[in-house]
Copies of this chain bind each other. A is one copy, B any other.
């Protein structure tokens, strides 16, 4: 260690949000167009600095979720991805950003006249394309977020966080197919998810546009999936 009179350097702490949802059976992420430098005009993940020195980091994430995306953190899944603190990631100075992954059901309106007017759902494939050019290291953070979601679909009930309070098994299947980017057999999927105790529980009937009406389900109490649903 150094001498006792040495004091450690202070840095700025920000939060960034990877907010994923399903739109038209495709995985989408919420991006904002930056109104200020650096990276003015470029697209970026929603986020911002801590409000004051006493604000909890996850509280800051929830606040940004409300401010920038008009989403209620109480109703959706929110978990930390990690800290991104490379020197030089922000040209303004030393900023350490704590990234969070949020999963939102359906499509709660592509945000309207709120503080979040500049926010727009963007297909993940497009956001990660070479032409997208996200601000800062947000491409890296988005990649990590998507990978985290992919992995957690296997072992946890995270998929239900993409769905409305009640959903059909086919809707749940579309979550897996969109996030994993694969096609699954509906008949086997149907039995597989019901074989996991307390993963999903029945909740009545529904009729769809075509074909036989599907049963409705709610998310059950089980959070860890045993056995896991393995991707092909």
Q: Is the interface of A mostly helix, strand, loop or mixed?
A: loop
Give the copy number. Answer: 2
Separation in Å of the A157 CB from the closest CB of chain B?
A: 16
Given A1-B115, A96-B96: A9 and B80 within 8 A (CB)?
no
The answer to whether A82 touches B85 (Cβ under 8 A) is no
The answer to whether B9 touches A52 (Cβ under 8 A) is yes
The answer to whether B80 touches A98 (Cβ under 8 A) is no
A57 within 8 A of B: yes
Could you tell me which A residues sit within 8 Å of B by CB distance?
1, 4, 8-14, 36, 48-57, 67, 80-83, 85-87, 93-94, 96, 98, 115
Residues on B with beta carbons closer than 8 Å to the beta carbon of A87: 53-56
B10, B48, B57: which contacts A10 (Cβ < 8 A)? B10
Chain B minimum-CB-distance residue to A79: B82
The answer to whether A10 touches B8 (Cβ under 8 A) is no
Residues on B with beta carbons closer than 8 Å to the beta carbon of A12: 8-11
B1, B4, B9: which contacts A53 (Cβ < 8 A)? B9
